[in-house]
Structure 1
């Protein structure tokens, strides 16, 4: 005679204390997670953890581990699995030993299993640095490698600051006194003002998220204490004549300099960031209405732009790269080489250089070629096109600037050159 095997495990599910329709209407509202156990009767038990609609996987009845902002989602999910397995195993034992199962018996078992240490509390990391490291990993896929490295450097500076001053940094350490002491510490290390500003800005990113998750309850916490105004850098651009000198310079005996020059000039003629102009390929070239373009999806903004391949770019590709864009070069090497190229074409004009370092403003004159780096290419494009009276809106289309305010920071004409440019607009009767 055939028989069936009875299921002595019962059925476990996890659900929120609050109705789902209410949580869906407010997807960030947290609610306690309850274990529901059906064994003929119904048993409900608080797990002590909270989550919200947007972080909960309703199919798996677990916290989302890849798309949520919960730092220790995996740890919580393991906890949920452990108590699920435990109550099923205990229920099977009770049935096998003919012990009457009640909600009180199940509750006492779970209380003992958890050492009566069930807490209703928000999920929080142990330390600020645990939180910051985990949050940075969550952001990693959405930021550039350079930005990721910058955030890491900031965390290292905060750790070094805490060790140097023999203080423990936790979520409630961040008040005005901390900000001023941290700034002083960086100044004593002889960091430039803009470097200090960058570290404060990075630190604020972590503090904003920690505050949003209510990990900070210091009444003296104020994000404005971590504001520090950056100073305008001494940045240059290369004129069309200087770009022509660079283009025509014979560098065939110096392959690295030649490659750096060719990559850099493509940046000057397209207006792109180095992450977009360094590493173009044959597949980047598209023909539209008889004209060749670089079709570029900008890495920072994700915007797509078509940059016309100018005669200069075509000359670079045809003469030295078999009709293709130059191969990619490490940015640090490019920055070193392009200065040597600038020196080779005698860009020796003295430029007044001002920087606040270690809290002290320092002024000096240095030759122009020493200020050339990968970002000079984009500044050169913007400034030269502006001088040619291309509409700002059109320049921004290529450069990727989102606001005119940001764009005008790139326009590096001043003094006599700026006065001449304004007069040339026809506003004066001269």
Structure 2
């Protein structure tokens, strides 16, 4: 039978109180608690504070509280022993871990019941090792999930209460969505964000943590995505505009290269001479896409080759050594060159509102809402139905045709109608004469 007593091993004024735990003959373990007491106020025989009748009100209250804590600690240790797992080794280390758990809010698995603790555990112990279809998840996916984890943590703090993993349900997900809206995050981004907690929290079941039954009902969503692009005619309009400012001329060249290579700015602005290669007698650029870690080989269009020849066989200079800064400059210069080239047709898109700190959606002149993403989308839109879609997807990095069509604002009806662009001969089986002679 397990028993627990408390004892002092010192006669100093603030003597630490030790926990003496016995589970049978020769099996006893002793560890220090976080409590201290003046030995004059300690009942050695009973192993508890004395019932003192005189003293200051504070000292009497402190002794009463100490006695209560020791009673709770005794109950906690005995309960942990009673509900122990078969593979738990009971020794001094176990006792020390249980005492620590009493003061810190529970043993490790109990602490992980709380969403904030679990999220930290998931970020450090699970996320770096997660796999999808046998492959480690990419750095970009890890960063994305860490972003979501940090936003959930901020949301938890805004609720001013402890939230358990099992508390996260549809209702709490809806509150998280409202919280994100108040942060000025775009609706489409929120639609992607709210599905990630389900993925993260569902993993809690693998370590024995209870999750909410309604977790599977939480769904992400998509919103209408502005499909901003420029046509080849508009590109020619920019090409024919002479910019005296060196940065604007450089931005023009990057835009032309982006239009004919279909890469995100993070990949486009890192193109350089040493990434050029020849394949089947064609000059190509080899790109390892930053977001997906996918390698693509892109034959260079004649307009791109003209730019390289103009620049002694190299790509234009980047606007900054820092990639994020370079992208910011590129976006700024894009708005300037398209404005000077009179690209002012109205286009549905989003524009940042400094007062509300969020994007406003509507129709704006193209030069007000253009960004570096126009390169990839213009490439996809320009070549759609001109060359097989899988070939375009091999360059843009889209994984599914549905994803690609949504990206350029098309659907499968747009794709199927293209059948009439092909010469299809109609053939019919000759009808058999079924008449019988009389």
Shared fold, TM over 0.5: yes
1:350-389 pair list within 5 angstroms? 350-353=346-349, 364-387=362-385, 389=386
CA deviation after TM superposition for structure 1 residue 144, in Å: 4.2
Match for residue 403 of structure 1 among 397, 400, 406? 400
1:281-360 pair list within 5 angstroms? 281-319=272-310, 321-329=311-319, 330-353=326-349
Aligned Cα RMSD in Å? 3.7
Q: Within 1, Cα distance between the matches of 2:399 and 2:362?
A: 33
Q: Indicate yes or no: 2:152 matched with 1:154.
A: no
Q: CA offsets per residue over residues 184-239 of structure 1, 9 Å max, x none? A: 22234443311211321333342233344443x134341332x1311121121110
Match for residue 263 of structure 1 among 254, 273, 283? 254
Indicate the SS of the match to 2:298: strand
Does the 8 Å CA contact 1:383/1:410 hold for their aligned counterparts? no
Question: Could you say if the C-alpha distance between residues 269 and 116 of structure 1 is closer, same or farther in structure 2, counting changes exceeding 3 Å?
Answer: closer
Question: Could you say if the C-alpha distance between residues 284 and 113 of structure 1 is closer, same or farther in structure 2, counting changes exceeding 3 Å?
Answer: closer
What TM-score results when the alignment is normalised by the length of structure 1? 0.61
CA deviation after TM superposition for structure 1 residue 333, in Å: 2.3
Does the 8 Å CA contact 1:237/1:412 hold for their aligned counterparts? no
CA deviation after TM superposition for structure 1 residue 124, in Å: 8.2
Q: Indicate yes or no: 2:246 matched with 1:251.
A: no
Aligned to 1:200: 194
Q: Within 2, Cα distance between the matches of 1:423 and 1:205?
A: 40
Q: Within 1, Cα distance between the matches of 2:228 and 2:297?
A: 26
Question: Could you say if the C-alpha distance between residues 242 and 231 of structure 1 is closer, same or farther in structure 2, counting changes exceeding 3 Å?
Answer: same
Aligned to 1:392: 389
Larger Rg: 2
Question: Could you say if the C-alpha distance between residues 164 and 264 of structure 1 is closer, same or farther in structure 2, counting changes exceeding 3 Å?
Answer: same
Unmatched tracts of structure 1, length 5 or more: 1-108
Question: Could you say if the C-alpha distance between residues 348 and 281 of structure 1 is closer, same or farther in structure 2, counting changes exceeding 3 Å?
Answer: same
Question: Could you say if the C-alpha distance between residues 317 and 171 of structure 1 is closer, same or farther in structure 2, counting changes exceeding 3 Å?
Answer: same
Q: More displaced, 147-156 or 261-270?
A: 147-156
Unmatched tracts of structure 2, length 5 or more: 1-88, 102-106, 131-135, 320-325, 425-438
Q: CA offsets per residue over residues 2-43 of structure 1, 9 Å max, x none? A: xxxxxxxxxxxxxxxxxxxxxxxxxxxxxxxxxxxxxxxxxx
Q: Within 1, Cα distance between the matches of 2:383 and 2:228?
A: 15
What TM-score results when the alignment is normalised by the length of structure 2? 0.60
Higher relative contact order (CA 8 A, sep 6+): 1
